[in-house]
Amino acid sequence: MTTIRDVAKLASVSVATVSRVLNNSGYVNELTRERVNKVINELNYQPNSIARSLYKKETKTVGFIVPDISNPFFPALIRAAEDYLNEQGFTIILCNSDEDVEKEERYLSMMKQKYVDGVLIISDYLTAEQVKEAPMPILALDRTVDDDVPTVLVDNYQGGRTATKHLMEMGCERIAHIRGPEHIENANDRYDGYLNIVRDTDWFDDSYVAQGGYQLNQAKEAATKLLTENPSIDGIFASNDLMALGALKAAERLNFNVPHDVKIIGFDGIEWTKATTPELSTMSQPLYEIGKKAASLLVEIIQGNKIDQKKFIFPLTLEKRKSTER
Amino acid sequence: MTTIRDVAKLASVSVATVSRVLNNSGYVNELTRERVNKVINELNYQPNSIARSLYKKETKTVGFIVPDISNPFFPALIRAAEDYLNEQGFTIILCNSDEDVEKEERYLSMMKQKYVDGVLIISDYLTAEQVKEAPMPILALDRTVDDDVPTVLVDNYQGGRTATKHLMEMGCERIAHIRGPEHIENANDRYDGYLNIVRDTDWFDDSYVAQGGYQLNQAKEAATKLLTENPSIDGIFASNDLMALGALKAAERLNFNVPHDVKIIGFDGIEWTKATTPELSTMSQPLYEIGKKAASLLVEIIQGNKIDQKKFIFPLTLEKRKSTER
DNA sequence: GTGAAAGCGCTAACAT
DNA sequence: ATGTTAGCGCTTTCAC
């Protein structure tokens, strides 16, 4: 590896001068600059960013902690963040937490040691103190870590309401809900939105709600049970798209025609929803925008700029597709 | 941030001693060790890995360059690699190249500057020299960068043969192929496998092959054209699952029943294939194993161990599903 | 406009 | 068994 010393020697200047032309800082004679640049090119010299980071205490790196990159919901978010961060000269360290607090803590501590400049996190588990103790700015997306942590997400409650209302408008009279994990707040919010619409109907009771754990197979079982035990169900609002697909599979196997016998709507708007037959209606999140906004806010904070709010709420779009047609 | 000096001072020892207990190296009295550890805990001290990296010239970081994380094929590979690398104390820097050589080069050069210990890459574009010039070990997966670069992948040629033969065995008599990009070798290999089976039939000619660019929509158009211009086609081998889905969508829209009128098989074995109706047959790759193997080989090389071969070929599994049933 | 030198936080000779 | 110190490659103050 060639170092700044090599360049300095060959250009017959001091390392300070080389550093100046490297960083475009301070005064340096035009001719000297040219000479130095020539040597830099000749030697194909690239500054060692580790050394630079040690001095400057900044690494141009941000961490991104996601539950599980194999879950099709997350890649779009990551991709968007990476695109923006890369433009800004940052690099992403990716970590899968598996929704496990301990892993999150380990990753956070590792990031602290590696001096990342900031971290993006999708988590429901970290405590307010953990976030406050962290030496670098943290920004949450998709889920709320703590009210004090800047967060980018959608209005899950309204989304739950809209989805449920849509089913009603399409003629459903008995609407079941397959909910997500109880420890995930956005699942609770979507559930509350559903409740808000159905609570006061004459048919509603607890038996219309099942736990699907945000998982395809669990939702499939849940839907099978729901439809078997209560064949009058003619609408299902699943709290995410994976579970909507599970419901679709269940209906198929039970020979319920979708959308004729039972209509299904999901939540998130992942690409899969266009792959199914019938295509799935869904409350679509602007995933790319969310990821990008999160990244850009984080960069702002890293650069020391104050941001004017804590919560950034993006609009949901009701995608009406075949699975909820009349 | 508390440093090794703070610990040393508080424990009334030198930084060398602290470093020794930190790294479990050299001699250190049991009592001193305890005292130091106590202070470390009290101060909640964590060594600065930037400083450590600067000295040791190793960062416990590896780069992973993938074409596009939003493509559902890649996350499983990344996840597997992350799992293994993390166990081994490594951290992953993720980069999306969009199949763009210049981006790949930029990322590689950035990784060089950041002193990553090694890189995993999914690419068809880098030249042998570029790889050889790199100061850190590089390992390819899924695609061959250069014969000299250790590579983990499947036998695409045989896979193409097997898929095509399967369609024949299921009764297809006119089998079309939707191929992947010409500059991607694995697409060519799969195509060659197909050719090997159909070349000598009395019906085959060029009109049975269409370009799908490994993309859903392009494949959908290609399949529409194929099926419209030649309705005698009763089998389609798509070079990846995304395109198989495109073909399925096309068939659906043209009112071809799958599998009755036309059978479809894909390649890769991504999760999506189980989401469709009918579920898609596919040549399934052991994605998790491939990712894990790639990661473990890279770690071996980083640790200075020689590996005994250049190419590691994993078996494909023919997943027979509804889309190719008789 | 340029150079000398200190120092970022750590590790590892080397000395004791 | 422990301490002193040089040095990893860079940036930046301070002199000149």
Check whether residue A205 and residue A185 sit in a common domain: yes
**Tokens in use for A284?**
């679509």
> In the structure, what pLDDT confidence band is assigned to residue A133 with cuts at 50, 70 and 90?
confident
pLDDT tens for residues B127-140?
Answer: 888 888 899 999 99
In-domain check, residue B86: yes
Determine contact: A94 vs chain B, CB below 8 A. yes
Distance D9 C1' – B285 CA (angstroms): 44
Name every chain A residue with its beta carbon within 8 A of the beta carbon of B79.
68-70, 96
Distance C15 C1' – B50 CA (angstroms): 28
> What mean pLDDT, rounded, does chain A reach?
96
Q: Give the closest-approach CA distance of B51 to chain A in angstroms.
A: 6
Check whether residue B185 and residue B274 sit in a common domain: yes
Q: Phi/psi of residue B118, each to 5°?
A: -175, 165
Distance D7 C1' – B54 CA (angstroms): 10
Residue A112 has pLDDT above 90, yes or no: yes
Sheet bearing B281-284, strands edge to edge: B209-211, B175-179, B235-238, B263-268, B281-284, B317-319
- A contact test, residue of B58, B94, B112 with most A CBs within 10 A: B94
How far apart CA A46 and CA A48 sit, in angstroms, is 6
Q: Residue B1: its pLDDT value, please?
A: 85
Q: Residue A252: its pLDDT value, please?
A: 95
Say what percent of chain B tops pLDDT 90: 95
Does pTM top 0.85 for this prediction?
A: yes
Token match 């992350």: residue? Answer: B82
Q: Give the closest-approach CA distance of B82 to chain A in angstroms.
A: 7
Q: Residue A131: its pLDDT value, please?
A: 86
Whether nucleic acid strand D comes within 7 Å of the CB of A25, the answer is yes
Provide the H-helix boundaries in chain A: 4-11, 15-23, 30-43, 49-56, 74-87, 101-113, 128-133, 156-169, 185-198, 216-229, 241-253, 287-302
CATH code: domain of residue A8 = 1.10.260.40
Mean of pLDDT values over A232-239: 97
Q: Residue A52: its pLDDT value, please?
A: 97
Q: Give the closest-approach CA distance of A93 to chain B in angstroms.
A: 5
Q: Residue A203: its pLDDT value, please?
A: 96
Strands B61-66 and B317-319: unpaired
Residue A301 has pLDDT above 90, yes or no: yes
Q: Name the nearest CA neighbour of B286 among B119, B182, B159, B157.
A: B159
Token match 């040791």: residue? Answer: B56
Question: Which of the nucleotides lies closest to A19 (Cα–C1')?
Answer: D11
In-domain check, residue B265: yes
Determine contact: B133 vs chain A, CB below 8 A. no
Check whether residue A41 and residue A71 sit in a common domain: no
- A contact test, residue of B55, B69, B257 with most A CBs within 10 A: B69
In-domain check, residue B249: yes
Q: Please check whether residue A88 is in contact with residue A299, taking contact to mean a CB–CB distance below 8 angstroms.
A: yes
Q: Do B61 and A92 touch (CB under 8 A)?
A: no
Instruction: List protein-proximal bases of chain C (any atom < 7 A from a CB).
Output: 1-5, 7-13
Q: Give the closest-approach CA distance of A204 to chain B in angstroms.
A: 30
Q: Residue B129: its pLDDT value, please?
A: 86
pLDDT tens for residues B190-231?
Answer: 999 999 999 999 999 999 999 999 999 999 999 999 999 999
In-domain check, residue B102: yes
Name every chain B residue with its beta carbon within 8 A of the beta carbon of A51.
54
Question: Which of the nucleotides lies closest to A29 (Cα–C1')?
Answer: C1
Strands A317-319 and A281-284: antiparallel
Determine contact: B253 vs chain A, CB below 8 A. no
Q: Do B72 and A47 touch (CB under 8 A)?
A: no
Nearest neighbour of A50 by CB, restricted to B54, B69, B272: B54
Check whether residue A35 and residue A72 sit in a common domain: no
Check whether residue A300 and residue A241 sit in a common domain: no
In-domain check, residue B52: no
In-domain check, residue B55: no
pLDDT tens for residues B278-311?
Answer: 999 999 999 999 999 999 999 999 999 999 999 9
Name every chain A residue with its beta carbon within 8 A of the beta carbon of B133.
none
How far apart CA A219 and CA A239 sit, in angstroms, is 10
Q: Residue B169: its pLDDT value, please?
A: 97
Q: Residue A50: its pLDDT value, please?
A: 98
pLDDT tens for residues B160-199?
Answer: 999 999 999 999 999 999 999 999 999 999 999 999 999 9
In-domain check, residue B54: no
Check whether residue A205 and residue A251 sit in a common domain: yes
Distance D15 C1' – B161 CA (angstroms): 76
Per the structure, how many domains does chain A have? 3
Name B residues 32-71 whose Cβ lies under 7 Å from strand D. Answer: 32-33, 51, 54-55, 57
CATH code: domain of residue A227 = 3.40.50.2300
Q: Do B96 and A113 touch (CB under 8 A)?
A: no
Q: Do A72 and B69 touch (CB under 8 A)?
A: no
Whether nucleic acid strand C comes within 7 Å of the CB of A17, the answer is yes
Check whether residue B180 and residue B251 sit in a common domain: yes
Q: Residue A147: its pLDDT value, please?
A: 87
pLDDT tens for residues A55-102?
Answer: 999 999 999 999 999 999 999 999 999 999 999 999 999 999 999 999
Q: Phi/psi of residue A261, each to 5°?
A: -85, -40
End-to-end CA distance of chain A: 68
> What mean pLDDT, rounded, does chain B reach?
96
Check whether residue B253 and residue B206 sit in a common domain: yes
Check whether residue A259 and residue A213 sit in a common domain: yes
pLDDT tens for residues B36-63?
Answer: 999 999 999 999 999 999 999 999 999 9
Q: Give the closest-approach CA distance of A205 to chain B in angstroms.
A: 31
Mean of pLDDT values over A285-305: 97
Mean of pLDDT values over B224-249: 97
Check whether residue A73 and residue A188 sit in a common domain: no
Q: Residue A129: its pLDDT value, please?
A: 86
Check whether residue B299 and residue B252 sit in a common domain: no
- Residues paired with residue B120 on neighbouring β-strands, in sequence order: B64, B139
Say what percent of chain A tops pLDDT 70: 100
pLDDT tens for residues A184-209?
Answer: 999 999 999 999 999 999 999 999 99
Distance D14 C1' – A304 CA (angstroms): 28
Q: Residue B131: its pLDDT value, please?
A: 86
Nearest amino-acid residue to C3, taking CA and C1': A14
Q: Do B48 and A113 touch (CB under 8 A)?
A: yes
**Tokens in use for B169?**
């065995």
Say what percent of chain B tops pLDDT 70: 100
Q: Residue B11: its pLDDT value, please?
A: 95
Residues of the domain holding B312: 61-154+287-316
In-domain check, residue A102: yes
Check whether residue B35 and residue B99 sit in a common domain: no
Q: Name the nearest CA neighbour of B10 among B74, A301, B2.
A: B2
Whether nucleic acid strand D comes within 7 Å of the CB of A310, the answer is no
How far apart CA B202 and CA A120 sit, in angstroms, is 59
